[in-house]
Amino acid sequence: GENVEQHPSTLSVQEGDSAVIKCTYSDSASNYFPWYKQELGKRPQLIIDIRSNVGEKKDQRIAVTLNKTAKHFSLHITETQPEDSAVYFCAPSPYNTDKLIFGTGTRLQVFP
Amino acid sequence: DSGVTQTPKHLITATGQRVTLRCSPRSGDLSVYWYQQSLDQGLQFLIQYYNGEERAKGNILERFSAQQFPDLHSELNLSSLELGDSALYFCASSVEGTSRDEQFFGPGTRLTVL
C-alpha cells in the first residue's frame, strides 16, 4: 500500500521565519497532493492542494511545491504567525481514488 | 463550522462494551468517511460510504462496522471495546467521494475506554 512520510515530525520557528514541511510518498500513481491543517483540539481542514500537472501553487503566505520524479511535495509557510501553530498532514492520492491516506503529521510551533 | 455534525461529542465506556457514533454529512454531500486519530497519532482511514454503499475500506478492525442510511447519515459501531480503541473518531464528508473533492471534517467524537 501507499507509504507516506512527513519530515520533520516537529518544527519550531520564530514568528516571521519560514517553515517547510516535506511529504514523501511511494505510490507513483499519486497525482493529487493536498495539505490539511489541524489546530489543537479542532478538526482537520484543507489549506492548499495541487495536481500533478502543476509544479507549484501559492495562496498568500502558503505554497506547495511538487517534485513528482522524486515523489515528494512540500508545504512552505512564509512570515509565520502564532496562529500557524498546528499539526499539518499531507495526503497524496491518485486522482479519483476513493480515500485519502494521511501522512504522519508535522507539529509546527511558532513562537512570538 | 464545516456543516458536518457528529454525536456524541464525548463518550466514556468500559472494556467489552459496544458504542455507536453518529455522523450527519453536509447538505448535498453523498460520501462519508470515518477516521480514527489516537493520541499523538495521525489520521487513520477506516471506511468510506457513498450514497449508502460501502466504497473503500482501510484499516478497520472486524470489531468495527459502519453503515450509511438512506438519509445519508452514517453510524460507526464499535464493539468488544478495548483500551486501545480510545481515540478521537472523525467523520468527514464530500460531494462525490473522490480524492479531488475537499473533505469536510466534523468536530469528532472522543471515545475513552476505561
**Residues contacting residue B85 through CB under 8 Å, at least 6 positions apart:** B78, B111, B113
Counting other chains too, the contacts that A36-42 makes at CB distance below 8 Å and 24 or more residues apart are A36/A88, A36/A89, A36/A90, A36/A91, A36/A102, A37/A86, A37/A87, A37/A88, A37/A89, A38/A86, A38/A87, A38/A88, A38/A89, A38/A105, A39/A85, A39/A86, A40/A85, A40/A86, A42/B107
Give pLDDT, residue A18.
98
Residue type, B32: V
Kindly indicate the confidence band of residue A100, based on its pLDDT and cuts at 50, 70 and 90: confident
Closest chain B residue to the Cα of A91, Cα to Cα: B99
Q: How many inter-chain contacts (A to B, CB under 8 Å) are there?
A: 60
Give pLDDT, residue B101.
79
Closest chain A residue to the Cα of B46, Cα to Cα: A99
- The answer on pLDDT for A66 being more than 80 is yes
CA distance B23 to chain A (A): 14
Q: What is each CA distance from A88 to A68, B11, B59, B105, in whole angstroms? A: 20, 26, 21, 15
Give the mean pLDDT of A88-102: 81
Give pLDDT, residue A87.
95
- Sheet of strand A86-90: strand arrangement: A10-14, A106-111, A86-90, A32-38, A44-51
Kindly indicate the confidence band of residue A96, based on its pLDDT and cuts at 50, 70 and 90: low
Give the mean pLDDT of A53-71: 93
Give per-residue pLDDT as tens, A8-58.
999 999 999 999 999 999 988 888 899 999 999 899 999 999 988 788 999
Phi, psi at A70, each rounded to 5°: -85, -5
Residues in A touching B42 (Cβ below 8 Å): 89, 102-105
CB contact under 8 A, A32 and B100: yes
3-state secondary structure of B83: helix
Strands A4-7 and B109-113: unpaired
Q: Which carries the bigger pLDDT value, residue A66 or residue A99?
A: A66
Q: Which of B35, B42, B55 sits opposite A105 (nearest CB)?
A: B42
CB contact under 8 A, A99 and B58: yes
Residue type, B109: T
Residues in A touching B105 (Cβ below 8 Å): 43-45
Kindly indicate the confidence band of residue A97, based on its pLDDT and cuts at 50, 70 and 90: low
Closest chain B residue to the Cα of A87, Cα to Cα: B42
**Residues contacting residue B8 through CB under 8 Å, at least 6 positions apart:** B21, B22, B109
Give pLDDT, residue B1.
84
CB contact under 8 A, B42 and A100: no
- The answer on pLDDT for A1 being more than 60 is no
Give pLDDT, residue B99.
67
Q: Which residues of chain B have pLDDT under 70?
A: 40, 99
What would the grid cell of residue B47 be? 471506511
Question: Which stretch of A1-5, A81-85, A102-106, B9-13 has the lowest confidence by average pLDDT?
Answer: A1-5
Give pLDDT, residue A58.
95
Q: Which carries the bigger pLDDT value, residue A1 or residue A88?
A: A88
Tell whether B25 is within 8 A of chain A (Cβ).
no
What would the grid cell of residue B65 be? 462496522
